[in-house]
């Protein structure tokens, strides 16, 4: 189940790409069927973008809390910039012809890659909502990505967390 949550958590952040593709299609072909399909995918994606917030709320209410001792912490927000560039990449690659089938195939491939990957990058939509991402190392040497709304300056500030996946934690103080 944790792999499912982590994969769903990240895939939800891809929804704005559909609007970029819809814009490109509109520029080339006007308001055709493909334009409306892409806008629909984007709208569904925006609704899907609420999934990470639902996961965070569910963890806050029902998630198991466990103590952690952190010995090292560093910001993980630099990945955010690269991910934002992926939102506008369709505008840069406007010569590439995409179909709805290719978009769904792309989403499935990305989903499978995420399923088998232990790390996930910063979630841009959560970052816009003031969530911060930190790479932390526990006293046992395990490295995690921590999601929090707090600006953390010292490892001692992190005491209790919720586990999202093997490599992802949510600060219980959120």
Residue-range domain boundaries for the chain: 2-171
How many C-beta neighbours within 10 Å does residue 47 have? 11
Total-model pTM: 0.62
Do strands 168-171 and 70-75 pair parallel, antiparallel, or not at all (unpaired)? unpaired
Supply the pLDDT for residue 68: 92
**End-to-end Cα, the chain, rounded Å:** 22
* 1-46 pLDDT tens trace: 466 766 666 666 666 777 777 777 787 888 888 888 878 877 776 7
């Amino acid at each position: 189940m944790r792999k499912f949550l982590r994969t769903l958590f990240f895939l939800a952040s891809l929804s704005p790409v559909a609007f970029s593709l819809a814009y490109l299609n509109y520029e080339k072909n006007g308001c055709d069927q493909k334009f409306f399909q892409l806008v629909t995918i984007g709208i569904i994606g925006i609704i899907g973008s609420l999934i990470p917030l639902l996961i965070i709320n569910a963890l806050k209410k029902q998630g198991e809390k466990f103590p952690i001792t952190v010995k090292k912490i560093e910001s993980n927000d630099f990945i955010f910039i690269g991910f934002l560039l992926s939102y506008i990449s369709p505008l840069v690659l406007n010569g590439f012809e995409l179909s709805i089938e290719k978009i769904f195939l792309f989403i499935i491939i990305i989903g499978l890659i995420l399923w088998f990957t232990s790390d996930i990058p910063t979630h841009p939509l959560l970052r816009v909502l003031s969530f911060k991402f930190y790479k932390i190392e526990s006293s046992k040497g395990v490295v995690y990505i921590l999601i929090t709304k707090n600006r953390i300056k010292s490892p001692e500030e992190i005491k209790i967390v919720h586990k999202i996946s093997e490599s992802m934690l949510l600060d219980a103080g959120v």
